[in-house]
Structure 1
Amino acid sequence: MKYAVYTLRFLTPVHFGDSAGGGSLEKTSFICSADTYFSALCREASAASNELVGMLIEKFHSGRLQLSSLFPYYMQADNLQLYLPKPFWQTELATDDLQPFSVMKETMTKLKKMKKATFVRVSRLQELITALNHKEFYEINTPVFAYKEMNTKVNSRLEESMPYFINNYHFVDNAGLYFIVGFEDEDDLAALEDLIKSLGYTGIGSKHSSGYGKYEFADDPIILYDENDGIYEDDTALVQLLNNSKGAFQLAVAPLLPSVDDITIVKMGVYKLLKRSGFVYADIDEKYIKKNNVYMLAEGSCFGRRIKGNMIAEKIDGVSHAVYRNGLGMFVGLNYEK
C-alpha cells in the first residue's frame, strides 16, 4: 500500500457536528471523521453519476483505497507539523510511596496536563508510548489550530421567527486539516483527487449549504511510496508508522466498525465508543431526516493488530438510495521500546 497526504486550507468556518454531545448546532468540533468525509465524497460523486458512487464504494470496500480522518496540521517556519490523536492509554506516573506534598502536587499537575492533551505530533508518538510504558511524564505541547465562534441565526420557517445559535471554528493562518489516503493504483488516486478538489467548492460538514466548510489544497499532495520518502520530519515518521503493520501497538486513525470475528481483539485493546449520527436528504419526501445512530470505535483506540472493519449500507425510509457508513479502519503501528 502506498500513501498520499493531503493538506487542506479552509476558506470559510467549519462546523463538524459532535454526536457525542447531543448533535445540536451548539456542539461542534474542528475535526472531521473519516466516515463523515467519505459520505461527503459519495454525495459529491452522486452529482456526476451513480456509477461513480458505485466505483468509489467498491474501491474502499475492497481495500484498494483507504482514508484516515481529518486531523490538524500546523506550518511553522517552513516545517509541516502533522498531528494524530493521543492514544487512549490509562496514564500513570511512577511514584514513591512517600513523597512531600509539593512533589505530589507537581506530579498531579503533570498528569492532568498529559490527560488533557488530545493530539500529538507524529514524530513524537513513539517517544510518548515509550514514556507511558515506563510510567514516565512526557510533555505534550500543541499550538492553537483554530478558535471557536458563535453565530446567531433566525429560523423564519416557523409561525414565529425564533433565534438559534451555531458554533463554528475558524482555523488560524498557519493551520488546517490533513488526511491520509492509502492507495494501490495511481489511477484510483487520481480519480479520488478530482472528487476531493471538487468537494472543496461544495464544502464539508454541517451547514455546508450555508457556505461553511469550503477549502482548497494548501499544497501539492505528499506521495509516500516507502519509508525513505518524506519531505518533513513528521511525514517521514508517518510513512514509517503506516508501514509498521507488525508493531505490537496499532493506533486507529479512522473510526472503526469491527466485525463479530474481531471482538476478541477489541476486548484486548483500549478503545472509546463514538456515536455517529447526523442527517440525510430524503429525496422522496424532499426533506432532511435523521439517520440511525451507529456506534464505532473512535480514532485513538489501540489494538494488538490491525482490524479491517466494516462498511454498512442502510436503507432509510424516504431515501431512494442506500446510506453508506464507512467503518473501515486505518492504523499506524508503534512499538514497546525499552
Structure 2
Amino acid sequence: MQHYLYTLCFDAPVHFGMAERGGGLEHTDMVMTADALFSAILAELSAAGAHDALRELLNAVQQGSLRISDLLPWREREDGTWDFYLPRPVLPEDMAAQTRPDSYAEACAFMSAHKQQKRLSYIRAGRMQEYLESLREGRPFDEPAAFGQENLHQRVNCRGEEPLPYFVGSFVFHEQAGLYLIVSTESEDVVEATSCLLEFMGQSGIGGKRSSGYGKFHLADDAVLLSEDAVYGEDDAALYRLLTDEAAEWQMTLSPVLPDARDIETVAQGFYHLRHVGGFVTTAALAEKKNSICLLDSGSCLHERVPGSMASLGQNEGHPVLRYGYGLYVGLGGIRKG
C-alpha cells in the first residue's frame, strides 16, 4: 500500500477527551486516537446522509485496503523544514541494562538519563534510531518539543436549579504546529475523498466542545505521497522508511489495535499499553451502555504486524456501534530483545 500524509492546522482550541485514561472534563489530550477519529468520520457521514460513502469506507477498512494512524504532532522550524513526531516506543525495561555502569556516579547518571527518557511522549521520526541507541547505552536524549499550550477554562452549568461551576481543559496549538494523519491505501480515489472529508470536518471541528467552537481546522497542504524523496524535510522521508520496514525486529503501532484471538500469542511476546474503551451511546431519548473492550495503545511494540479487527460495541437506532482497531505500523530497526 502507499502512504499519504495529511497536515492539519487548528484554527481554534481542541478538547480531546481523556476519560478512557482516567481524566475528566478538565483534562485534555493533545492528540486524537485513530479509533476516536474513525468514529467521528462515521458520525459525520451518517449525519450528512452520505450512507453510500459510509458503506464504501467500512468496506475498504474491513477488506484491508485502508488504514489510518492517530493524529500525531508536527511543527515547523524557523528554516522552513517540518518535524514529524511518533509515539515513544513501549520497549522492554531491561533493554537499557545492556550497558552496566562501573561506579556509583555512573549508575546515578544512568538512572537519571533513563528516567528522563521515560518522560518523553513523542520522538521525531528522523531521530528515532538515535533515541533507541541512547536508551541502550544509557545516554541522555533531549527532544525539545513545544507544540502549544494547555489551558483550563471555568464554565457555569445553568441547566439545574442552581448554577454550578465546572472546568474545561483545552489545548491551543502554536501557529507553526498541528497534527498530522497517515492514510495507507491502495486506491487514489480514497486520497481525494479523504481530503474532501477532512476539509468538511474541519468546518465543524473534531473532538469535544464543538458547540463552543473547539476543534476547527484546515489542511495546511494537499495530501503528500510519502517516499524516499523528502518534501518537508528529513522526517517525512524517515516516516516512509519506517512505515515500509516490515523486516525490523519490532513493529510499533501508530493506531490502537484490537487483536483477534489467534494473535494473542504474538501480542503476549510483545510490549504494550492497554486502553479500556467503554462508556455510553447517548441520544436525545436515552443513554445506552456500550460493551467494553481493551485496545493495544499506540506505541505498543510487537514482533509482527498484527492486522487487528473492528469491534461491535452494541446497537444504536438499528445500526451497530463500531470501534476501529486495525494496526498501522512502523519498523524499529536495530533493536534486539532483552
TM-score (norm 1): 0.91
Once residues 130 and 75 of structure 1 are traced to their aligned partners in structure 2, the CA distance between those partners, rounded to angstroms, is: 26
Query: How far did 1:69 drift?
Result: 0.1
Alpha-carbon displacement from aligned partner over 1:16-38 (angstroms, at most 9, x marks no partner): 11134435201221110000111
Counterpart residue number, 1:319: 317
Equivalence for 2:96 = 92
The structural deviation recorded for 1:97 is 6.0
Structure 1 residues 225-264: aligned runs within 5 Å: 226-228=227-229, 230-264=231-265
Matches of 1:334 and 1:178, distance apart in 2? 20
Q: CA deviation at 1:231?
A: 4.1
Residue of structure 2 equivalent to 1:151: 153
How has the CA–CA distance of structure 1 residues 301 and 175 changed in structure 2, closer, same or farther, with 3 Å as cutoff?
same
1:107 aligns with 2:118: no
Q: Which segment is superposed worse, 305-314 or 271-280? A: 271-280
Deviations 1:23-55 (A, max 9, x none): 520122111000011111111111132222111
Contact preservation (8 Å) 2:191, 2:223: no
Other-structure match for 1:34: 34
1:29-178 aligned at under 5 Å gives the runs 29-46=29-46, 47-77=48-78, 78-89=80-91, 90=93, 92-93=96-97, 96=100, 98-100=102-104, 102-132=105-135, 134-178=136-180
Q: Is the 8 A contact 1:93 1:111 kept in 2?
A: no
CA 1:26/1:277 → structure 2, altered by over 3 Å: closer, same or farther?
A: farther
Would the aligned equivalents of 1:8 and 1:177 in 2 still touch at CA under 8 Å?
yes
Alignment partners' CA distance in 1, 2:98 and 2:243: 31
1:57-107 Cα distance to aligned partner (Å, 9 max, x none): 11111111110001111100201000000101125355556514x433332
Which residue pairs with 1:7 in the alignment? 7
Summarize the Cα distance change of 1:306–1:290 in structure 2 as closer, same or farther, 3 Å threshold: same
Of 175-184 and 51-60, more deviation after overlay is shown by 51-60
* SS in structure 2 of the partner of residue 63 of structure 1: coil
> Aligned letter for 2:320?
A
Tell me the amino acid that sits aligned with residue 292 of structure 2: N
Residues 286-325 of structure 1: pairs in structure 2 closer than 5 A: 291-316=290-315, 319-325=317-323
Q: CA deviation at 1:125?
A: 1.1
Q: 3-state SS of the aligned residue for 1:24?
A: coil
Question: Residue 79 of structure 1 contacts residue 232 of structure 1 at CA under 8 Å; is this kept in 2?
Answer: yes
Cα deviation per residue 1:117-157 (whole Å; 9 max; x = unaligned)? 1110001112223343x443251313211211111111111
Gaps spanning 5+ residues in structure 1: where?
none
Alpha-carbon deviation of 1:195? 0.9
For 2:25, what is the secondary structure of its paired residue?
Answer: coil
Unaligned runs of 5+ in 2: none
Moved more, 51-60 or 29-38: 51-60
Distance 1:30 1:96, change over 3 A: closer
Q: CA contact under 8 A between 2:101 and 2:110: conserved in structure 1?
A: no
Between 1:290-299 and 1:265-274, the stretch displaced more is 290-299
Query: Equivalents in 2 of 1:80, 1:291: separation in Å?
Result: 40
**Deviation string, structure 1 residues 163-197 (Cα, Å, up to 9, x no partner):** 11111111112111111000111012211221111
State how many pairs are aligned.
Answer: 332
The 1-side partners of 2:280 and 2:332 are apart by: 36
SS of 1:106's equivalent in the other structure is: helix
Distance 1:9 1:72, change over 3 A: same
TM-fit CA distance, 1:229: 5.7
Instruction: Using the TM superposition, give the Cα deviation of residue 335 of structure 1 relative to its aligned residue in structure 2, in angstroms.
Output: 1.5
Q: Contact 2:16 / 2:31 at 8 angstroms: preserved in 1? A: yes
TM-score (norm 2): 0.91
Looking at structure 1, the residues matched to 70 and 149 of structure 2 have their Cα atoms a distance apart, in angstroms, of 20
Distance 1:154 1:289, change over 3 A: farther
Secondary structure of 2:309's partner? strand
Distance 1:292 1:156, change over 3 A: farther
Name which of structure 1's ranges 115-124 and 210-219 shifts more when overlaid on structure 2: 210-219
- Label 1:106 to 1:129 Cα distance change in 2 as closer, same or farther (>3 A): closer
Partner of 1:19: 19
Specify the code of the residue in structure 1 equivalent to 2:228. Answer: E
